[in-house]
Amino acid sequence: MRKASRLLHAAEGAAYWAAAAPMLARLPAAVSYRVACWRGDWLWRSQPAKRAELARNLRRVLGEELTSAAEHDFTREWFRNSSCEALDINRLHGTGRALRNLVEIRGQEHLDAALAQGRGAIVCSAHFGSFDSAFSLLGACGFPVTTIGRWQHNYTAGLSSAERRFWDRVYAEPLRRHRNRPNIEPWTGRFDVAARAASALRAGEVLTIAIDAPPLDSDLDRAVEVRFLGRHARFLPGAVAIAQATRAPLLMCFAYRRPDYSHQVLEISAPIPMDADTATAFGRCAAAVSAAIARSPAHWRYWASPADLVTLGLLPAEPEESSVLEAVPLVEIAPLQSTEAGGTSLPAASETSLRLPSGNEACTRPVPTQTAGAVWPGQPRNSCRQGRSAPACRRTPWSWPFSDTKCAPGTASATCRVASASHGKVSDPAMASVGTAMSASRLVGTSQLGSKSAVS
């Protein structure tokens, strides 16, 4: 029954993005966004488990004093916002005027003044509202925009080439049309990211980044801890590293949807002071994101992803559901070694395959030999790990590519990873030497969007 329900929602989501949303975007805004809200309400009613998870995460982070009425309103608004995003993207077709007419930009004078200094400008946001559309909207308004981040559907494990082409056409293509250059894709060890970011700023462009992406396990040693939503959270401060290295002004921007859901307000702040160490300066940016979320909690995407909230440090890590872990060496069987804690660890010699027996398809991927359950370099947060059951390591065919996708059964380690759409970490550009570039690029890391659980 659950599998049939997942397939139904996946098919409905694909049909909505491929056919319904493009047609609705041609109708008057009052009509099209009302239909999108009806769809959001239907998803809210038909997905009780996801609705309960959203409410639970809101309550655990924002406080138990959150009333049931407030939970009801926040969760329903979250589904509505996700459904309306498809219309925002489709209204960017052509010149983008159809979306520009619905968005009021406040603080554009701050961006104009920043660009007038001749060092470009860095505009940071979060996975908040229609942030991707907001970045492209700046391009449609005449600003030369380049985004640091990745199109997730190009890297999500298990997607067929047809699925990648599908999501590239319905999601990425309208956004790319209004961006000056291809996205700068950050990956660990790629120092050209710093040089390309510096080049864009020297050309007087607007560099856009979503700064709230949870760092990958392999990047946690480079993360900084700052106050966020009244707690301590971990982020990669790459945007601040760029700003301090290039002396480019850094501004914050957030898109808020108005009560009619069709109109939005894009607020651009004055430049954030960078006259402090990296962690302190990034803390100011994180405070701006916290204020935006406190003002409109339903706009933040990560409420649907407890795994990302745990990685950020906003929720405590919960014990994985217990399961017997089978060690299946690829070449020959090697005995498990006892640990002081009474458990077992993998032998420290050959490459080993982890198989999770659960009665369903198992997730198998080769990993470097480390202690059982340890994280290997480059491992995504949402990959198959010790204790993960097979249902948590599956992807529904044709599901929204930014959903909580795990590594597909049998996927090779090189492709079994989850990447983010447009929200990476960044590295220091405008470096005076190769050593400076390499040092700054370490702050870029490889952050990911993780579970961008849009309801499509």
Q: What is the pLDDT of residue 189?
A: 62
Q: What is the mean pLDDT of each run of 10 residues along the chain (456 residues)?
A: 79 93 96 98 94 94 83 95 97 94 97 96 97 96 92 79 91 92 76 85 95 87 93 94 95 97 98 95 97 96 94 84 43 43 41 37 38 35 39 39 40 37 35 37 44 36
Q: Is 92 a member of any domain?
A: yes
Neighbours of 301 (CB within 10 A): 26
* Contact status, residue 291 vs residue 267, Cβ threshold 8 Å: no
Q: What is the pLDDT of residue 422?
A: 35
Q: What is the pLDDT of residue 186?
A: 76
Q: How far apart are CA 178 and CA 133, in angstroms?
A: 10
Closest CA to 417 of 376, 388, 453, 369: 376
For 148, phi then psi, to 5°, come to: -95, 120
Q: Is 366 a member of any domain?
A: no
Q: What is the pLDDT of residue 52?
A: 94
Q: Is 143 a member of any domain?
A: yes
Give the contacts of 76 (CB within 8 A, at least 6 positions apart): 40, 41, 44
Give the contacts of 125 (CB within 8 A, at least 6 positions apart): 131, 134, 135, 208, 209, 210, 211, 252, 253, 254, 255
* Contact status, residue 224 vs residue 214, Cβ threshold 8 Å: no
Sign of CA dihedral 90, 96, 102, 103: positive
What is the residue range of 186's domain? 2-317+420-442
Q: What is the pLDDT of residue 228?
A: 97
* Contact status, residue 237 vs residue 279, Cβ threshold 8 Å: yes
Residue-wise pLDDT tens digits, 204-241: 999 999 999 998 888 888 899 999 999 999 999 999 99
Q: Is 382 a member of any domain?
A: no
Tokens coding 83: 């459904």
SS3 397: coil
Q: Is 293 a member of any domain?
A: yes
C-alpha 202, offset from chain centre: 27
Q: What is the pLDDT of residue 134?
A: 97
Buried-exposed string 163-193: b where 16+ CB fall within 10 A, e elsewhere = bbebbeebbbebbbebbeeebbbbbbeebeb
Q: Is 359 a member of any domain?
A: no
Closest CA to 245 of 197, 177, 297: 197
Q: What is the pLDDT of residue 152?
A: 77
Number of domains in the chain: 1
Residue-wise pLDDT tens digits, 93-116: 999 999 999 999 999 999 999 999
Q: Is 368 a member of any domain?
A: no
Global pTM value? 0.73
Which DSSP state fits 277? -
Q: Give Cα separations from 155 to 57, 127, 168, 310 (angstroms).
A: 27, 19, 12, 23
Q: Is 328 a member of any domain?
A: no
